[in-house]
Amino acid sequence: MAKRIIITEPDEILRKVSREVTIFDTRLHTLLDDMKETLLSADGAGLAAPQVAVLKRVAIVMTDEIFLEMINPKIIEQSGEQTGAEGCLSVPGKSAQVTRPDEVTVKFLDRYGKKCKKKVKGFEARAVCHELDHLDGILYIDKCKNLVLDNDK
């Protein structure tokens, strides 16, 4: 595994729409392993492939509750609403209140191409929505009301 560089705003790569994954080979597995190591060392809750400059529909979410490796993920059900503080490793030093669904069901493929489905709530639902947005070139700062610098808090 190797740590990759996380690109930051306003890098244009973050604004591109990522492509679907069709090949589930060792190259994909290396990407996933590298993303996990990168996320662990950055102490974040999730990471999407475009954040390490790879325009593929790949995202991981890692919290105390879950570890998800999602390929070609899609939200198929959502309910409720929550508003809470959000940050992003590609928008360092900032955070803001963002409204998201409280519960989502996401379907995706695992690293071997096997179909999976997972229902997540609360913080995990927020993290899944945030990471999936990255795959369409959307950042949370597009959705928030009051962006604040962390050192202003």
- CB-wise, 61 or 88, nearer to Zn ion? 88
Maximum distance among all alpha carbons in the chain? 45
Beta carbon of residue 86, minimum distance to Zn ion (angstroms, whole number): 8
| Phi, psi angles (nearest 5°) of residue 82 | -140, 145
Q: Is the dihedral of CA 55, 19, 70, 98 positive or negative?
A: positive
- CB-wise, 68 or 88, nearer to Zn ion? 88
Residues that bind Zn ion (CB under 5 A): 88
Q: Which residue is nearest to Zn ion (CB)?
A: 88
In the annotation, is 131 catalytic?
Answer: yes
Beta carbon of residue 14, minimum distance to Zn ion (angstroms, whole number): 9
Choose the catalytic residue: 69, 86, 124, 131: 131
Q: Are 122 and 102 in contact (CB under 8 A)?
A: yes
Looking up tokens 């999976």 gives 116
- CB-wise, 32 or 88, nearer to Zn ion? 88
Q: Are 59 and 72 in contact (CB under 8 A)?
A: no
Beta carbon of residue 52, minimum distance to Zn ion (angstroms, whole number): 12
Q: Which residues are catalytic?
A: 131
